[in-house]
């Protein structure tokens, strides 16, 4: 099946979009996506391909994940999400995902998959939540982002403890993509329980990175935003 998947993907290459995506995902020297290769295949097109090949084996998926081509890896990961949704071998899929974090190495790859695999697994298996606290301490930017984004699933189930703890642990993180991710999760927390978010902001707004704080305030009124931005670092 892998040959058919690769052939299908190759037929959808778009050089013009590849140029745009190469810039958008910061693939230049020293940037977070350095060396990533794009074929210019948009996500809706990839999702259609995933529907055709969702029965691919883990061996096929591993080959896709080992590729330098971004869209190969995204296709493999989205097939993995579909497998998890079907409820087949969830523990195997979860373990497979975590063994491949080195290949889940751009923010879209994380954001489209971590909540749907790691997040859902730890929601169903509370003892596994320790993985969040292992990943959040990683030197890998992407493993830290997996930790943050996995809490999105917990938020949807109105479980806030881990979101708050992970956010607290990342207050001193140096990377802008982590600041944005944490701010995003705090914003989502506030949509569900604004009082809980306000309690966090009152405690930490003075030390939060500006980007993190700004993202967390997106649903606040202009007056509230001004109040916390003035308090901020």
Residues 121-132 pLDDT 10s = 999 998 999 999
Do 92 and 152 share a domain, yes or no? no
pLDDT in tens, 178-200: 999 999 999 999 999 999 999 99
pLDDT score, position 78: 98
Going by the DSSP 8-state scheme, the letter that residue 208 receives in this structure is S
To which residue do tokens 């009152």 refer?
202
pLDDT in tens, 123-179: 999 899 999 999 999 999 999 999 999 999 999 999 999 999 999 999 999 999 999
Do 61 and 134 share a domain, yes or no? no
Is the backbone of residue 57 left (phi > 0), alpha (psi -120 to 50) or beta? beta
Neighbours of 134 (CB within 10 A): 11
Contact status, residue 32 vs residue 40, Cβ threshold 8 Å: no
Question: What is the average pLDDT value for the chain, to the nearest integer?
Answer: 95
CATH number of the domain within which 35 lies: 1.25.10.90
Do 89 and 132 share a domain, yes or no? no
How far apart, in Å, are the Cα atoms of 168 and each of 149, 201, 212, 215? 15, 11, 12, 15
Do 169 and 224 share a domain, yes or no? yes
CATH number of the domain within which 232 lies: 1.25.40
Is the per-residue pLDDT at 233 higher than 90?
Answer: no
pTM: 0.94
Do 88 and 120 share a domain, yes or no? no
What range does the domain containing 39 cover? Answer: 1-105
Q: Name the domain boundary from 46, 78, 105.
A: 105
Name beta bridge partners: 37: 69
Do 70 and 153 share a domain, yes or no? no
């Amino acid at each position: 099946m892998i040959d058919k998947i690769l052939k299908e993907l190759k037929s959808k290459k778009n050089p013009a979009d590849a140029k745009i995506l190469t810039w958008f995902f910061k693939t230049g020297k020293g940037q977070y996506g350095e060396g990533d290769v794009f074929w210019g295949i948009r996500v809706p097109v990839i999702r259609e391909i995933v529907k055709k090949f969702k029965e691919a084996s883990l061996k096929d998926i591993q080959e896709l994940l080992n590729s330098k081509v971004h869209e190969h890896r995204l296709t493999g990961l989205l097939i993995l999400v579909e497998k998890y949704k079907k409820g087949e071998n969830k523990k195997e899929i979860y373990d497979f995902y975590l063994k491949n974090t080195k290949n889940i190495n751009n923010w879209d790859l994380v954001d489209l998959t971590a909540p749907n695999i790691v997040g859902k697994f730890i929601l169903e298996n509370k003892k596994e939540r320790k993985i969040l606290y292992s990943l959040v301490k990683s030197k890998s930017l992407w493993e830290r982002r997996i930790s943050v984004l996995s809490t999105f699933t917990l938020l949807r189930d109105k479980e806030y403890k881990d979101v708050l703890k992970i956010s607290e642990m990342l207050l001193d993180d140096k990377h802008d993509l982590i600041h944005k991710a944490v701010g995003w999760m705090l914003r989502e927390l506030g949509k569900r329980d604004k009082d809980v978010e306000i309690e966090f902001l009152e405690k930490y707004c003075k030390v939060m990175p500006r980007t993190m704080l700004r993202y967390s305030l997106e649903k606040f009124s202009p007056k509230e935003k001004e109040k916390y931005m003035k308090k901020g670092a």
